[in-house]
Amino acid sequence: MSDNSLPTWHGTTILSVRKDADVVMIGDGQVSLGDTVVKGSAKKVRRLAKGDVLAGFAGATADAFTLFERLEAKLEQYPGQLMRACVELAKDWRTDRYLRRLEAMMLVADKDVSLILTGNGDVLEPDDGVMAIGSGGNYALAAARALVSMEGPAQDGVDAETICTRAMDIAADICVYTNANFTIEKL
């Protein structure tokens, strides 16, 4: 893997959907070591900033906890400014010698914005309010986008949480590094 390429994470799927006034983030619980499932009930999605921010990670667990702590500190420094806190974290992540070695990606969302954070310094906001990371991320992303774009009676009453759950079920059926033991957080 070259330094210019985004890493491909094995062992998790995190999905976030913003629909109407709701934001939902969901993550599977599987932790894999090579081709062995080590744990099936890990919590990879959590609340930060007194419950106002949802965050999920893909990658090395210890690295993710370091990033959660750093993001929490930035959120304290810039209360109510998720975008600013994430940009400042991304700057640190790119320039700090220790942080540059971290192998993780994050999804974060509050009531106003949803973002993907990478170690390349990216702070990306999806156009459609749907974003995913991890080994099953593309499967969950495609399924969620299809469900969000449905119109007519089939879509009536389908909320962000239902879309997340259905999309993650699809990802778990396809990706061997993703299970159906979900953690769901909603704003």
Catalytic, out of 12, 13, 118, 165: 12
Which residues fall within 8 angstroms of residue 167, CB to CB, at 6 or more apart?
15, 17, 140, 141, 143, 144, 147
Give catalytic status of residue 95 as yes or no. no
**Do 168 and 28 meet the contact criterion of CB atoms below 8 Å apart?**
yes
Closest CA to 136 of 33, 14, 34: 14
Strand arrangement of the beta sheet that strand 123-124 belongs to: 45-48, 53-59, 104-109, 114-117, 123-124
At residue 23, the 3 state secondary structure works out as strand
Residues annotated as catalytic (active site), given as ranges = 12
